[in-house]
Amino acid sequence: MFSPKMILIDVDGTLVDSVPDLAYCVDETMQAIGRPGYGEARVRDWVGNGVERLVRRALIGRLDGEPTDEDFEQAYPIFLALYTENTSKRSQLYPGIEDGLDWLKAAGYTLGCVTNKAAQFTEPLLRDLGIRDYFGLVIAGDTLPRKKPDPLPLLHAAEHFGVSPADSLMVGDSVSDVKAARAAGFSIVCMSYGYNHGQDIREAHPDAVIDSLVEIKGLIR
């Protein structure tokens, strides 16, 4: 059991399945520069480290490595323009998210959101899906000088709310979330679904793994 005073929750792959919009924008970007698209299943394994990294992966067709600067400078503005118009058209909350957030809010927990997604996309996405008001603080990927897996965003949130890391819980879906939580001294619960580049998140040894946010009721007090 955990006894957190503050709970931070990731966005992509935890609260929101944003892959349908991201995959659409990747494929449209590839088409615009004269390349074939990849489809949603392939793009799903590349999501989780911000849209810049996603575009770099799409340009080389794999998880690790770097495209040429020329290719990236051509493709990235196209992607950004597309994603600005398609941030939430196809994305949706995972089952149980609203019920889980309602329960956490009613139980009096301080809630924050920490994501590697840029603020220009994070805020509209949370608003469009109706969950922005659950969070007293939203830290996006460009809010601070460093993002997850660096512990800075988590520690910044703890300081903001006046809560110690030992009294803090991170809820995420990826190795990046686990690393950030461990480095910050937070407890970490991961969703069994989500974006962990095709790897089972249990291999990263979070403190607990759940299938739905409503299951957090059985883990905290």
Condensed to tens digits (0 to 9), the pLDDT of residues 75-109 reads: 999 999 999 999 999 999 999 999 999 999 999 99
Q: State pLDDT tens for residues 108-160.
A: 999 999 999 999 999 999 999 999 999 999 999 999 999 999 999 999 999 99
Evaluate whether 130 touches 102 at the Cβ level (below 8 Å).
no
Does 19-85 match 6-17+92-218 at the fold level? Answer: no
What is the value of pTM for the model shown?
0.94
Residue closest to 43 by CA, chosen among 190, 173, 34, 29: 29
Q: Check pLDDT > 90 for residue 32.
A: yes
Question: What's domain 19-85's superfamily in CATH?
Answer: Putative phosphatase; domain 2 (1.10.150.240)
Structure tokens at 189: 């619960």
Q: State pLDDT tens for residues 44-76.
A: 999 988 899 999 999 999 999 999 999 999 999
Please provide residue 61's backbone torsions phi and psi, each rounded to the nearest 5 degrees.
75, 20
How is domain 6-17+92-218 classified at the CATH fold level?
Answer: Rossmann fold (3.40.50)
Q: What confidence score (pLDDT) does residue 198 get?
A: 84
Could you tell me the residue ranges of all domains in the chain?
Answer: 6-17+92-218, 19-85
- Report the run of H or E that residue 190 belongs to, with start and end: strand 187-191
CA distances from 22 to 47, 52, 79, 117 (A): 8, 12, 9, 12
- 10 catalytically annotated: yes
Q: What confidence score (pLDDT) does residue 197 get?
A: 85
